[in-house]
Structure 1
Amino acid sequence: MRVLQALPALHSGGVERGTVEFAADLVKRGHESFVVSEGGPMAEQLRGQGSTHIFMPIHRKNPASFGQILPMRKLLLELKPDIVHVRSRMPAWIIFLALKSLPARERPAVVSTFHGMYSVTPYSAIMTRADHVIVVSRCVQEYVRNYYSVPEEKLTVIQRGVDVDAFRQRELSQQWRDRWFRQYPQLDGQKIIMMPGRISRWKGQLDFLAMMAQLIGDRSDCHGIIVGGAEPGKEHFLEELEKERARLGLTEKVSFLGQRNDMTTLYLLADLVCHMSTKPEPFGRTVTEALASGTPVVAYDRGGVAETLQACFKEGLVPPDDVEGFAKTAIRLLDDPFPSITIPWRFRLEAQTDSTLEVYENLLAQRQAN
């Protein structure tokens, strides 16, 4: 098959990483893989793994982006993809408007993925116009069914997969450790409690600080690390977090590491990973990646994250917004040298690729039958 994936950009984030990993898997299986986006650092990785990246500024959520309709039409006519897989709303609008002027027999099958619980608006509803809709968790499936009236037969739940072997079959080199502890001497000899995620109020960093204040009262050998950068316009929230850290007396016990490109190594370093989003997340890739590394996770029992922990590590579930219960669970897990983590097949990258290809093949078979 010839597959074209479309998304805004290739900078960082779960959707971007998932797109690049899936593209690499397509190539390994002998398919032709193309990705159209505004580009970014991950485009080089994409090309290095055998896919073709096509630069097109389809990322802006404003009317100027509609200037890309004719270039997109030209691209679709040149590539003649069997499948176009849209992973975001603005690229979906551009693609559907480009397809309108093509003869029906020349239009590819279109698949969309709801990576989140998008606002219920005509702008978001474009994702439901695909021939088939993939959702990343059961909670997103319920949301799409309830708010967009998408029929059951048009929806498929495919959890985001991770390359478990790539996370597990690694060791922290002594060179990396030496460099790490030279840079962060305050972490030497400490139990490391990691909170990954971009700096944003709903990601739960304020809850993490409150939890660490309680945990440190019982375990003085712990140090918290908040890993993630502040998005443009969110710098004021980072300043608020730093003030709250000082108010709670955690300046020597919690470190802000900013954006990192060595997350797979940090998962191995951490003794515990925390997920404390204040609203349901559609999936929560950091949770699956941490568990794939063999590191226990504590998380609030809601959204797609809860679905992952129910399947992989029930011991880490905590009632939503229960900061005190979160701290108690964290302490209990820190004392467990052998956490019982299992990664079912459906959370593995191979399963995600198998299931997505099955959606593609079914669509193409239906077209041939008609």
Structure 2
Amino acid sequence: MKVVQVLPALELGGVERGTLEIARGLVTAGHESVVVSAGGRLVEQLESEGSRHVQWELGKKSLLTFLQVPKFRRWLAQEKPDIVHVRSRMPAWVVWLAWRKMDPATRPRFITTLHGMHSVNRYSAVMGKGERVIAVSETAKRYLLDNFPEVDPARVTVIHRGIDPAEFPRGYQPSDAWKQQFYSDCPEANGKHLICFPGRITRWKGHLDLVKVVAELSKQRQDFHVLVVGSDPKGKFIDEVKAAINEAGLDEYFSFLGTRSDMKELYAISDVMLSLTSTTAEAFGRTVVECLSIGTPVVGYAYGAVDETLGAIYPQGKVVAGGVVDAARQVDRVLSSRDEIRENPFVLSSMINKTLEIYRESMTS
């Protein structure tokens, strides 16, 4: 089986990570894996794991990108893949327009994966045009079917994203050297209960609600510190967050760590993680699953796919979306006592196996 995956670029992100995971799974199973993108820092890893990368910029949101359609159609005819799998809207339009004019008897099967809750418009509708459509959660599936009624529900399959339990093992502890370096760099965290808040610093991730939760929690106890992990992609919202913290007189409770590559260690030293998205729903919420896999509790708004993941692994961590007082109360309780965290059902091997099964089913339908 030969599979071509298409996405805008191979930089860091959930779509990119999922692409590499499926590519690796294909190669391990003895199949041929090709990835088309504009390139990026993950190309080297992709190729070292046995896939072929074709550099081609199909993700630029410009009418000029559509000029690539005939060329891509010729390339597909030459490559003769069994499957072409798209994960992002602009490349999906180019691929779909190229694919639909090919001979139905010989063209590859066309598969899409919906990774996020996009704006509801004709541009986003392309993610429902796959002969088979993969939704990364029940939340993503409901979004697709509720907003794009032309999509046949029989073509949509939920395959939850998965994490590797070996990468985030239960009970993991960082090395003494790592701890020494971390607390040297962040002395404010030493001796405190730690609250981890990972994610890009954007308005929809809930950083302003985080300030309110900390304000409520500080009325009950002062023996905690918040690790804000992530960067502001546009460099604007972080100033608003820091201003809100300063205005509330809470500066001593916060450390901004920026983007980190040692999330496993940060999850492990934390006593609890917070997830406070309440506007644009998370399509899966990988950080919630990673943290729970380590064995660190998560308190989160029961909204979007976080409601699904918490419900399956740690239901006592769910609070009503927007309920900052309830969230603070639950964090306070978790810092005083630990509840059982169930086994994580969202594992990488299951995601890969189910995706490859979709590929095989598509080829015989």
Q: TM-score surpassing 0.5?
A: yes
Q: Is the 8 A contact 2:303 2:321 kept in 1?
A: yes
Aligned to 1:173: 175
Q: Is the 8 A contact 1:187 1:223 kept in 2?
A: yes
Q: Is the 8 A contact 1:294 1:341 kept in 2?
A: no
Give the root-mean-square deviation of aligned CA atoms.
1.6
Q: Residue 105 in 1 paired to residue 105 in 2?
A: yes
Aligned to 2:159: 158
Unaligned runs of 5+ in 1: none
Aligned AA for 1:84?
Answer: V
Aligned to 1:244: 244
Distance in 1, matches of 2:78 and 2:87, equals 21
Aligned AA for 1:289?
Answer: E
Superposition map of 1:138-217 within 5 A: 138-149=138-149, 150-168=151-169, 170-217=172-219
Distance 1:200 1:266, change over 3 A: same
Distance in 2, matches of 1:40 and 1:216, equals 43
Q: Is the 8 A contact 1:199 1:230 kept in 2?
A: yes
Aligned AA for 2:82?
Answer: D
Superposition map of 1:69-84 within 5 A: 69-84=69-84
SS at match of 1:327: helix
Distance in 2, matches of 1:341 and 1:333, equals 16
Aligned to 2:24: 24
Distance 1:264 1:36, change over 3 A: farther
Aligned AA for 1:288?
Answer: V
Unaligned runs of 5+ in 2: none
SS at match of 2:342: coil
SS at match of 1:343: coil
SS at match of 1:41: coil
Distance in 1, matches of 2:216 and 2:340, equals 23
Superposition map of 1:266-305 within 5 A: 266-279=266-279, 280-305=281-306
Aligned to 2:355: 356
Q: Deviations over 1:107-161 (max 9, x none)?
A: 1001101112222222111122211111111122122112212222111011111
Aligned to 2:220: 218
What is the CA distance between 1:318 and its match in structure 2? 0.3
Distance in 2, matches of 1:192 and 1:67, equals 52
Of Structure 1 and Structure 2, the greater helix share is in 1
Q: Is the 8 A contact 1:56 1:68 kept in 2?
A: no
Q: Residue 67 in 1 paired to residue 67 in 2?
A: yes
Distance in 2, matches of 1:64 and 1:195, equals 40
Q: Is the 8 A contact 2:278 2:303 kept in 1?
A: no
Distance in 1, matches of 2:118 and 2:146, equals 13
Aligned to 2:265: 265
SS at match of 2:219: helix
Moved more, 214-223 or 318-327: 214-223
Distance in 2, matches of 1:171 and 1:44, equals 30
Aligned to 2:58: 58
Q: Deviations over 1:34-86 (max 9, x none)?
A: 11111221222222222222211122112122233244234323322111111
Distance in 1, matches of 2:173 and 2:52, equals 32
Aligned AA for 1:361?
Answer: R
What is the CA distance between 1:338 and its match in structure 2? 5.2
SS at match of 1:104: coil
Q: Is the 8 A contact 1:38 1:57 kept in 2?
A: yes
Aligned residues: 362
What is the CA distance between 1:363 and its match in structure 2? 1.0
SS at match of 1:287: helix
Normalising by structure 1, what TM-score? 0.93
SS at match of 1:218: coil
Distance in 1, matches of 2:31 and 2:335, equals 44
Identity, % of aligned positions:
41
Q: Is the 8 A contact 2:141 2:156 kept in 1?
A: yes
SS at match of 2:226: strand
Distance in 1, matches of 2:212 and 2:188, equals 20
